[in-house]
Amino acid sequence: MTHDPHVLDVLYQVILSRKDASPESSYTASLLHKGIDKILKKLGEEATETVIAGKGGSSEELTYEAADLCYHLLVLLAARDVPANDVWKELQRRFGTSGIEEKASRTT
């Protein structure tokens, strides 16, 4: 089985399509309906589970938790009306720049 290099874009579009759906129709719609605080809580939980899997879990556990983390991050972006493409552009902008240089160049 091969992967679709655009799977995150497709997933983001599905998440956007759930914004106006009934909360009873899908987990995504339910999460979006519960609001930002619930989404942030789930994102934090998934981040913690990813850290734990990264520390001592199997490769399969880490893969599963990383996928959950990516999904919940996309839900947050959708809830805040931040296009996922903006994140992809920012990552692309950083290519070829040292992480140390990039961090030092940020304004607060």
Q: What is the pLDDT of residues 61-99, one digit of tens each?
A: 999 999 999 999 999 999 999 999 999 999 999 888 777
Q: Is residue 103 part of a domain?
A: no
Look at residue 106 and tell me whether its pLDDT is greater than 90. Answer: no
Q: Is residue 38 part of a domain?
A: yes
Q: Which residues in 68-92 are b (16+ Cβ under 10 Å) and which e? A: bbebbbbbbbbbeeeebeeeeeeee
pTM (2 d.p.): 0.86
Print the domain residue range for 69: 7-93
Q: Which residues in 35-66 are b (16+ Cβ under 10 Å) and which e? A: eeeebeebbeebeebbeebeeebeeeebeebe
Report the CATH number that the domain containing residue 16 is assigned in CATH.
1.10.287.1080
Count of structural domains, the chain: 1
Look at residue 9 and tell me whether its pLDDT is greater than 90. Answer: yes
CA proximity to 67, closest of 84, 49, 83: 49
Q: Is residue 107 part of a domain?
A: no
